[in-house]
Structure 1
Amino acid sequence: MIEPWLYPALTAVALLTGFIDAIAGGGGLIMMPALLVSGIPPIQALGTNKLQSMCGTFVAMLNYGRKGLIDWRANLGTAVVVFAGACAGVMLVRRVAAETLALIIPLFLLANAAYILFSPRMTDEDAHQRLSARGYAPVGGAIGLYDGFFGPGTGSFFTSSLVALRGLGLTRATALTKFFNWTSNVASVLLFALGGDILWLLGACMAAGAMAGGWLGSHTAMRFGARLIRPLLVVASLALTARLLWAWFA
């Protein structure tokens, strides 16, 4: 049974993570430990976290879309592949332990942080694209699979790969990340719901906080652009790396 005080407490945490997710991703770094410390079983913590994340990301996605920062039609095919990848990831997480990924992913996150920190492409200016929207679809599908299976750092991986491979400016890449991340969250929520692994009342309370945070975060990101998004991406990647390594060795 969930203690009554946890509802407002976790809603407040969701507001913070929704704000962070809307700008740089990495909110799960805060939310998942909070859910687990609250005594919620891991699989239900995963499902409930995906529900609140889906709602917060939806609000951020709409805000970015209204500003014309998302080309819905050009990226619909990739979104479908991301959805399929996330479904496969959720089915996989029920069969495979995540300990190996917990050791490998920090290496990717460190590389991700280094790229964000040192690459001259990490600005709001669009650059030459190395992959078309269709060519990027397998990359998006792989990140979607990872999100369904494990999750931490998904937003950073989407954003960095969209800058590096699609040539998008950082704010536009962040906006498109929300579309892809929302798609993978929808897939995850559907499958977790079918398995009965979502705490709906708690998830609804947290979703309200995440939506408020997503609204605030997306407006903040659009106002300040790359000069805010870039350092937050680096901080999120390094913090997540430290958290995963600590969990592994502890």
Structure 2
Amino acid sequence: MMDMFLLGVAAFFAGFVDSIVGGGGLVQVPALFSFFPGTPPATLLGTNKFAGVWGTTVAARNYLRQVRVRWPMLLPAALMAFFFSFAGAYLVTHIPPTHLRKALPFVLVAVAIYTFKKKDFGSADKPLFSGNKEIFLAMLVGAGIGFYDGFFGPGTGSFFMFLFVRFFGYDFLRASAVAKVLNVACNAAALSWFGFSGHVLWMLGGLMAVCGIGGSLLGTHLAIKHGTGFVRKMFLFVVICLICKTSYDGFLR
């Protein structure tokens, strides 16, 4: 019973963090691996996807009520994210992401340094592209990060946010709304493969999903209420945590 309570607490906090800047897997995945050490990793990853997709969907809905997004750009990007995330999930059941695990901390350090040095980064919403060019670039982002999410996953939402702020000129709040929609597509795709291949603990995932939705509702409320500055601070906090976690996983464990 205590294990379920602690997993519920972890899922609530994961939903809270993920709804603002992504990175909920930073909390939820280690908790699952800690409490179920004998369970196949693919099953725990599938359970994490099932638990997380509901909170991410609720967060996306809440953002879209308050933040305008460009649907002609976002829908094709989400479609690419779905298909490439499915491909990544399929591949990870055959090839372990060993080299990617070691490279990830260096990428995250670069993201953190860039965001920290540019104090106005993501503070203003000044889109740099429009029309077909924006659609094409968004599809590339959806495909690339979508594949990464299915194949490995940590920090997917944070990578989506960074790319839409840095290369598309969005502020952090709009980038967060876009990232949530793309994250839903990624999670749904990866979950469809994990579920089809029998790698989901459905009852446990359902319990964690309820707790994650609660955290997601709180997180989106705070993000919309406090705006871009709050989201930027949370983004830096989560990226620093991801650097520590991925460095430990890649080099010390």
**Short-chain TM bin:** over 0.9
Q: Paired residue for 1:238?
A: 240
Counterpart CA distance in 1 for 2:226 and 2:113 is 22
Give 1:212's aligned amino acid. G
How does 1:121-132 map onto structure 2 within 5 Å?
A: 121-129=120-128, 132=134
TM-score for the superposition, normalised by structure 1: 0.94
Tell me the C-alpha RMSD between the 2 structures.
Answer: 1.4
Q: Does 1:84 align with 2:86?
A: no
In the alignment, what sits opposite 2:156? 154
| Structure 2 counterpart SS, 1:132 | helix
Structure 1 residue identity aligned to 2:75: L
Distance, in Å, in 2 between the alignment partners of 1:73 and 1:217 is 27
Distance 1:48-1:145 versus aligned 2 partners, 3 A rule = same
* Equivalences for residues 4-43 of structure 1 within 5 A: 4-39=1-36, 40-43=39-42
- Distance of 2:13 and 2:106 partners within structure 1: 26
* Residue pairs, 1:187-198, within 5 angstroms: 187-198=189-200
- Deviation at residue 120 of structure 1 after TM alignment: 4.7
Deviates more, 1:227-236 or 1:180-189: 227-236
Instruction: Measure, in 2, the Cα distance between the counterparts of 1:128 and 1:77.
Output: 18
Asked whether the 8 Å contact 1:117–1:234 carries over to 2, the reply is yes
Distance 1:128 1:201, change over 3 A: closer
Q: How does 1:193-212 map to 2 (within 5 A)?
A: 193-212=195-214
On the 8 A contact 1:124/1:225 being kept in 2, the answer is: no
Distance 1:239 1:191 in 2: 29
Task: Give the deviation of 1:121 after TM superposition.
Answer: 4.9
Partner of 2:54: 55
Asked if the contact 2:8–2:207 (Cα under 8 Å) also holds between the matched residues in 1, the reply is yes
Q: Percent identity?
A: 34
* TM-score (structure 2 length as normaliser): 0.93
Q: Deviations over 1:97-141 (max 9, x none)?
A: 122111101111111112221235523421241551322211221
> Displacement, 1:238?
1.4
Would the aligned equivalents of 2:74 and 2:138 in 1 still touch at CA under 8 Å?
A: no
Which residue is 1:173 aligned to? Answer: 175
**2:56 and 2:180 in contact (8 A); partners too:** yes
Q: Which amino acid aligns with 1:70?
A: V
Q: Which runs of 4+ in 1 moved over 4 A?
A: none
Matched AA of 2:222? T
Does structure 2 retain, via aligned residues, the 8 Å contact 1:85–1:144? yes
Q: How many residues align?
A: 247
For 2:16 and 2:127, the matched residues in 1 are separated by 30
Match of 1:185 in 2: 187
